[in-house]
Amino acid sequence: MISDSENWSFKSPERDELGRFTTFKLYQLQNLCRKTMDTMEEKQKKGSDNWLFFNDLYTAIGQCIMLMEEVDRSQETANWYKTMTEILNQRNNQLSQEIAGYKQLEFLVTTNKLEEFSEKINAMYKKNQILAELQAQREADNNQTAPNK
């Protein structure tokens, strides 16, 4: 018996990365069973042990195909739910930030500090504007005093 610890690497196009038959290969096997059963029926051997074996195999392969297709659909659905959950979490985070901003604004309005806060923001804006002008003037002075090559 083969243990799980052994490295299974199937390089066949008829098998997936885990070594299982692909759905296409199962359809081929099911078709082969059907042809074998039809041949046995032509030879008047329908109902024999061999015919019953191939009939059972045909049915089992069909059930396997249905289950594999159901697993594929389930994986697609799970991926869709995961994507939707990520989108909803991002939207939740965005709305939480907006709500926090509104709560801060509400606090400023109810405590009559909105005007004070607005003045602080305007002062910071003017300070940053002055610093930017000074930086631009400094760079212009540096460019004028730099030796030309």
Q: Are residues 74 and 40 in the same domain?
A: yes
Give the domain extent around 145: 112-149
Q: Are residues 93 and 148 in the same domain?
A: no
Say which amino acid occupies 32: L
Q: Which residues contact 62 (CB under 8 A, 6 or more apart)?
A: 30
The series of mean pLDDT values per 10 residues for the chain, 149 residues long, is 49 76 90 93 90 93 93 94 97 95 85 83 93 92 72
Q: Are residues 122 and 142 in the same domain?
A: yes
Task: Tell me what pLDDT residue 81 has.
Answer: 97
- Per the CB < 8 A criterion, the answer to whether 35 and 25 are in contact is no
Is 106 within a domain? no
Q: Are residues 55 and 95 in the same domain?
A: yes
Task: Tell me what pLDDT residue 147 has.
Answer: 62
Query: For residue 149, what are the CA distances in angstroms to 141, 142, 146?
Result: 17, 15, 9
Q: Are residues 11 and 74 in the same domain?
A: yes
Is 107 within a domain? no
- Per the CB < 8 A criterion, the answer to whether 18 and 8 are in contact is yes
Q: Which of 135, 101, 133 is nearest to 117 (CA)?
A: 101
Number of domains in the chain: 2
